[in-house]
């Protein structure tokens, strides 16, 4: 199956390039923001039956403020996570080889997000840090805010994985399934064409697998848990579902995704870096589920 030759640059205005990858982040943040506003407008989702008017985790105005902090956490955490987890050599690039923003402003490669390379696990850490900072600053419950953002996270993941497919990056392992895609090796900015390796082989479109599992299916699970099971009434439940759900989805997809350069050796040599980073998420998600269950039993 041929790869649809989509130019990763949607529009060029002189030295300024508008990329699909950046638009995916913007779309994910805006769509998630809209969904969170809708959740805050439904206080019955947050208040146990007969318990009176329960407090929402934050107000609409506070949500508008925390979005800024979370966006910074996603971008900085995602990029630094990519560098530390996958490409630490970028930290050693000499000044003379730094990228030029807008053609003249030197920027270290470790921060050159327009070149691609973001880590979800790093972004998750960035979001957690920014959420705790905001909650402490305004004396709010960080777990309640975390539950809120967990509900919308799959929206951003969906758009991000579609952008990975458009960029022809993070593709899957070689395969002969009917829907396997022959991905190009890289994009030549001068000619505006994708360059294919002579030995390019069909591969799993693992980006689309992730968009389906981490995005659509995980969002559906959380939507059902929030609107039917009312899990937002139990602090930490939505966080647990998201962490375990993402970790499990990512662990499964890693069997189809081309492994990263850095792998763990020894008796666990089959585990990729993505798998190893996802295992703690599954464990932490299950811990949240156990903690919520124990609190429900104590309250009964």
Q: In the structure, what pLDDT confidence band is assigned to residue 266 with cuts at 50, 70 and 90?
A: very low
Distance from chain centroid for Cα 217: 14
Q: Which residue has the higher pLDDT, 200 or 84?
A: 84
Residues 141-180: b if buried by 16+ CB within 10 A, e if exposed: ebbbbbbbbbbbbbbbbbbbbbbbbbbbbbbbeebeeeeb
pLDDT for residue 159 is more than 70: yes
Residue whose token pair is 């649809």:
4
Cβ-based burial of 38 (10 A; exposed 0-12, middle 13-18, buried ≥19): exposed
Q: 118 vs 114, which has greater pLDDT?
A: 118
% of the chain with per-residue pLDDT over 70: 83
Task: Give per-residue pLDDT as tens, 55-109.
Answer: 789 999 999 999 999 999 999 999 898 888 888 888 777 766 677 666 667 777 7
| Residue 52 pLDDT grade (very low, low, confident, very high; cuts 50, 70, 90) | very low
Tens of pLDDT, residue by residue over 6-31, are 777 777 776 677 788 889 999 999 99
């Amino acid at each position: 199956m041929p790869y649809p030759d989509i130019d990763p640059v949607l529009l060029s205005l002189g030295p300024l390039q508008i990329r699909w990858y950046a638009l995916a982040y913007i779309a994910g943040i805006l769509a998630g923001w809209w969904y969170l506003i809708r959740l805050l407008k439904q206080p019955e989702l947050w208040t146990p039956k007969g318990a009176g008017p329960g407090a929402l985790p934050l107000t609409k105005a506070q949500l508008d403020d925390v979005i800024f902090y979370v966006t910074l956490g996603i971008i900085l955490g995602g990029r630094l996570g990519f560098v530390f987890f996958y490409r630490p050599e970028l930290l050693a690039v000499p000044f003379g080889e730094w990228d030029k923003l807008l053609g003249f402003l030197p920027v270290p490669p470790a921060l050159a997000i327009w070149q691609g390379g973001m880590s979800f696990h790093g972004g998750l850490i960035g979001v957690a840090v920014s959420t705790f900072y905001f909650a402490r600053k305004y004396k709010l419950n960080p777990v309640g805010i975390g539950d809120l953002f967990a509900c919308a996270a799959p929206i951003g993941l969906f758009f991000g994985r579609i952008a990975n497919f458009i960029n022809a990056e993070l593709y899957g392992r070689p395969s002969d399934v009917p829907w396997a895609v022959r991905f190009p090796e890289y994009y030549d900015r001068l000619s505006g064409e994708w360059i294919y390796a002579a030995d390019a082989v069909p591969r799993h479109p693992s980006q689309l697998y992730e968009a389906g599992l981490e995005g659509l299916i995980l969002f559906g699970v959380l939507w059902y848990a929030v609107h039917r099971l009312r899990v937002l009434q139990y602090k930490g439940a939505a966080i647990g579902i998201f962490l375990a759900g993402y970790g499990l989805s990512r662990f499964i997809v890693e069997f189809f995704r081309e492994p990263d350069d850095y792998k763990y050796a020894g008796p666990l040599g089959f585990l990729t870096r993505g798998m190893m980073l996802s295992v703690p998420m599954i464990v932490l998600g299950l811990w949240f589920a156990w903690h919520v269950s124990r609190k429900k039993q104590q309250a009964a």
